[in-house]
Structure 1
Amino acid sequence: MRWLKPLAIGALCLTVAACTTSPTGRQRLTLVSDAQLDQMGAQAFEQYQQERPMVGGATQRYVQCVADALVRALPPEQRQSQNWQIRVFKAEDANAFALPGGYMGVHTGLLEVARNQDQLAAVIGHEITHVLARHANERVSTQTATQLGLSVLSSAAGLEGAGGEQIMGALGMGAQYGILMPFSRSHESEADELGLYLMAEAGFDPRASLALWDNMSAQGGAQPPAWLSSHPSHGQRSQALQARMGDALSRYERARQAGRTPSCSRS
């Protein structure tokens, strides 16, 4: 739809002071204070722990070991900038998440797909870089700017009554698929890239990221078209990772030579 680009540009113009650059050089919008988001992340993590059963013992130690090795590989300012915590939750789906502030969760179902420490490091490294790249801030800011743009458009065009509501519903759907989801896909691709380099710099074999997505593809059913999904397809992710594998392997070799050889056991 032709209106999407002017809408996005108009929202950005209203908040140009909040435009920043992502770690990969992509322009982004960050309207919310990191302190506010970190507080929200802490509250959400606490609630998640209260509502879902957690798994301790050897499983928690294993996941913690992988996370600790990745965090140690971060530059000091990034390592100290978040309250890094990770918990394992009993759930069958192969999922992991990260919240502002460095709060992370791994579902036990993921451990059936991420079959060794290197594959698990690919997932946790991905989640860590979501936090460091401030993707939550950008996501919230983009949604806010989009809603503002739709509100302005509604008022300017006099879209009122039942007919107007129907048109605004269609416009909202267009904004969802035309603005918000592409931002989410760009976040996932960025976290894949940065997470690949982080796992390599921590001493985990980056080639395991490709094996992980093979496992995901073997386990998963039909996926929605990539343009209708908040995530790139498995094939797209594997291709992008493969394109960066040479650089990642060089980082991996340097890490191993520097003595970064993590050994995390599930037992």
Structure 2
Amino acid sequence: MGDTIDLSTLSADERSRLARELYGLHSEIFAGVDLDAFDRYVFQSPARESALRVYRDAAGEPVGYFVAHVYEPTFRGRPVAVCRGEVGFRSGARGKNVIATFALGVALRYKLRHPTRPMYYLGALVHPSSYAQLTRYADRVYPSPATPTTPEAEAELLASLSEHFGLSASDPGRPLVRKIGWTTRVTAEERRHWHEHESPAVRFFLRENPGYDRGEGLLTLAPLTMGGLVRMAARFVGSKLSRKLGLRARA
């Protein structure tokens, strides 16, 4: 369960209050970001639309958050919609696709209002669970095991958006790795879990971004068409149904 808040309806002071409330949880999950930077980067974003979802456990305690933004930069002389987000979950709640419904809702509502505007998800992903979830549901992801070499048009868009959002390169030898500074706090057991994971997406992420635990992010792009968003929703619903049926079969 959780609470959803439209940040665009709040004043700067009200958004800062939310940042202070969530900074304790954020600090349990990430290192490398102080309160001022957390507030400025996440809650005072110049995005066209911003929405916050706080996820809670059965006792009502927050275990994670997701702030979804939609920006409207210009590419090749025309506006494009770019979805970005900041996500944090305690280790026991990671990788359970709980953010999919909220993220799809934000993207679909915008797409319905602007059906002809090109739309993309842009991430600089700092944890393999986020990358694995994206490749699981999206039609196309660049780069990915299926498309390790990003096509020319998408590569140009990635470069343009990287400059627009001030995502500086971390390693000249890895052009899609960006210096983020947010380091996910992980236990030795969790680190071992991901490094022994058999998912092609997880293994690809670790190969392309071996410094993720030092606060480096893999620049990742996913086109979001109306049909693609509908298919993402269908995959998510199918995944939830399969999980429920599996649980019933084992009961």
**TM-score (normalizing by structure 2):** 0.27
Looking at CA atoms only, which structure, 1 or 2, has the larger radius of gyration? 1
Determine which structure has the larger strand proportion and give its number.
2
